[in-house]
Structure 1
Amino acid sequence: MSAATHRALVRLPADARGRTRVEVAEVPTPRLGPGDVLLAPVTAGICGTDWQILRGLRADPSRVLGHEGVARVVEPGGTGLRAGSLVTVNPTHPRDPSFLLGHNLPGLWAERTRVPANAVRAGLVLPVPEGADRPEAAALAEPLASVLYGLEIALGVARPAAVVVWGDGIVGRLALEAWRRRLPGTPGLLVGHGADAVDPRAPGLPERLAELPAPVCALIATPRTGTLEGLGAVDRHVRGTLLVDVHAGLPSGPVPLSAGDIDVAALRADNCGGEPTPPRVHRFDRPAGPLILYGHRGVANRHLRQAFDVLLARPPHEPRGGGVLTHEVDLPGAADLVNSVLDTDRRVADGRRVLKTAIRTGVGDDG
């Protein structure tokens, strides 16, 4: 890397199936405008949304992905940030859709990242404690913050007597742990394909859902392709008041539910970046009991700070990232992992299921 260039994990042109493999390439380091900040990412995560983009399930245009992680400030640009300090970036601007880090702007899978002035002015570059660059904190803070936001919305409506987490990936596992920590003793049901989860096609699952005490909070945390299956199942089988946090993405347009045809995607996007206050929830009547639907896009800074506090307080003897952090790689290793998963269509690398992967760029504040 020279002063004018840096390495980044760059998406290649899509193949016939829409998948975009990646390669490590030397790219121009961006010039800064007034109020911009230049960061050196230290640790970044690969999340479920990134996998959807890589598989062609989303049309996000950024050639460099990555919206989760921590970085060192290289050039503060007169913003008041301290050069060399450790920061994270809240990737979603609550009022300006032109800023969506790693989606429509180059993200953190790189040795340098520019954060534009509009995001800096909005306070989206947050100082974090030293030690927050540990993979289990840096790569998990944003998904945990999203979980905590959803939990906050749910508890503002009712205290659930039972929790269903549909999807046993990164968000699902972090969510079940967060719910158990917040409401110890509350029955929790994890639905997914792991050995410790109930398979979504298991014959006895409808009865188990029907027997849960109300009110039931259901978090839909599947890949985008599984959202409608999970939402439909809890709607059909859960009795009494049902709160549904639609965390996973889904196509726009009406979804047939027992309460009628509902544009769930539109309702899911009502809350963005911690706004509005109080958050919007939507209530519908259905034969089995009230249905309360909500979701959110992005998190508030307070959710990120809370997530870092939780993750940095973990005892050192716990499994890294509570067992959710499964792989840690450098930039070339990240290219190998991503391309292997895309080529095989299996979320497996080095003989292990890929949940959360942390990418270490190997570059600090001195370049």
Structure 2
Amino acid sequence: MPSLGPRDVRLAVLAASVCGTDRQILRGDRPDAASILGHEGVCRVIEIGPEVQLVRVGETFVCNPVNPDDQDEILGHSTPGLFQELVTWSEDELRRRSLLVAVDGAGNDELPFEVCALAEPLGTVLYTHELLAGTGEAPRRLAIFGDGSMGVLHALFAAEVCGASEVLLFSVDATRAAWLRTRRWWPRAVRVFGPDEPEPKSRQDTVVVCTPARASDAVLTRAVARVAPEGRIVLVGGVGAPGHPALPGMDLRVLRRTNVCGRGQPSIGRALSTEGKRLAVFGHRGTAARHLAGALALLRDWPVFREILTHCVPVEGLPAVLDTVSHTRRLDGVEYLKAAVRFPRAPSP
């Protein structure tokens, strides 16, 4: 193991979770160049250089992957990620990238390390609702496109925390939709729809798009059709082409990149759809420390959010997990939603 420089920090990865973007990178759907994947996780400081003042040995942190000053610098996407037992960063890099957010009580029964690894995706949901709060009333009737962990978390949050009266979750996979409907942890407000199933004629005040870029054009057509006039469309997943026929004059790629890590005033695009609907359209990337802290509190106090964790494996099983989920949505004979990887625990200080 190389020795540390005077301002270096070495951390042990305690747990990390597999994101949908990891699956996309493995399939070649994204051009990300990181040599090691993994951007959702929790670490403990095990060694510091003599000049380090920012952190102390024994402190535990969740990682905040997107650099708020350069949203193309992303842990596990453009720089080596958390699917390794040890990571070393300089104190300057930690500060510049706002990489670490402290966790109190991590590793106990109320907040296991594997659960802490869910803070970043759930923090993204909090960012969605923070931006929605700036556009008017809290959403009461939502449609969510995307049946992965991000779509499911948005549905759970809207129904459980916001008290939405109607949450429609749309899947393009009949098997996944059928499996999701059997989950006993859904709030009553949530209904799941598979492909080619009759859909309600109601229109929603908010539509959240949680699908990969390759699916975004078709999904946006459905989203614009489903949203009510004066409604809101939130771009959480990837965006394919910059423009879309149903939203003339809008550059969706620019919109999604405008709100970054909770910095500055929210930027909301205003659109007139080809159907004559006036809409608010916006997206976001990254999270802020407040989103991650809020997510950790939810994970501690609202056990339902832990239900997305369908698999938990030791680090030795990570290669097989990545190989499998890169091309299928079943793992060990069970429908896959989210996997966490357990690493050997760092010694206590």
Match of 1:9 in 2: none
Q: Quickly say closer, same or farther: Cα 1:118–1:273, change in 2 above 3 A.
A: farther
Cα deviation 1:217-265 (Å, max 9, x = unaligned): 11111233222222110212333122111001123532222x3142211
Q: Distance in 2 between matches of 1:288 and 1:322?
A: 41
**Structure 2 SS opposite 1:239:** strand
Q: Is the 8 Å Cα contact of residues 283 and 292 (structure 1) preserved in structure 2? A: yes
Instruction: Report % sequence identity.
Output: 32
Deviation at 1:158, TM superposition (A): 1.9
Partner of 1:284: 271
Q: In structure 2, what is the Cα distance between the partners aligned to 1:105 and 1:44?
A: 16
Compute the displacement of 1:322 (Å). 3.7
Equivalent-residue separation in structure 2 for 1:76 and 1:271 (angstroms): 34
1:116-265 equivalences in 2 (<5 Å): 116-122=90-96, 123-131=98-106, 134-159=112-137, 160-192=139-171, 193=173, 194-195=177-178, 196=181, 197-202=192-197, 204-205=198-199, 208=200, 210-212=201-203, 216-257=205-246, 259-265=247-253
1:68 to 23, 35, 40: 40
Task: List per-residue Cα deviations over 1:275-304 (Å, max 9, x = no partner).
Answer: 12x210101123342121111110111000
Q: TM-score scaled by structure 2? A: 0.86
- Say which SS state the counterpart of residue 312 (structure 2) adopts: strand
Is the contact made by 1:75 and 1:83 (CA closer than 8 Å) also made in structure 2?
A: yes
- The 5 Å alignment of 1:11-26 reads none
TM-score (norm 1): 0.82
**Aligned-residue CA RMSD in angstroms?**
2.2
Tell me how far apart the structure 1 counterparts of residues 334 and 289 of structure 2 sit (CA, whole Å). 33
Give the Cα separation in 2 of the matches to 1:312 and 1:200.
Answer: 35
2-structure distance, mates of 1:62, 1:363: 25
**Amino acid across the alignment from 1:101:** L
The AA in structure 1 aligned to 2:233 is: V
**Contact kept in structure 2, 1:124 and 1:301, CA below 8 Å:** no
Question: Within the alignment, does 1:113 sit opposite 2:104 as a pair?
Answer: no
2:103 counterpart of 1:103: no
Equivalent residue in structure 1 for 2:334, among 352, 359, 365: 352
SS at the partner of 1:240? strand
SS at match of 1:82: coil
2-structure distance, mates of 1:118, 1:241: 45
Note the C-alpha offset of 1:40.
0.4
Distance (whole Å) between structure 2 residues aligned to residue 189 and residue 96 of structure 1: 34
How big is the shift at 1:310?
0.6
Structure 1: 5+ residue runs without aligned partners?
A: 5-28
User: How many residues are matched?
Assistant: 325
Query: Which residue of the partner structure matches residue 11 of structure 2?
Result: 39
Letter aligned with residue 203 of structure 2:
L
- Which runs of at least 4 in structure 1 moved beyond 6 Å after TM superposition? none
The 1-side partners of 2:156 and 2:346 are apart by 32
Task: Tell me the secondary structure at the aligned position of residue 32 of structure 2.
Answer: coil
Q: How far apart are residue 356 of structure 1 and its match?
A: 0.9
Which amino acid in structure 1 is aligned with residue 167 of structure 2? G
Secondary structure of 2:17's counterpart equals strand
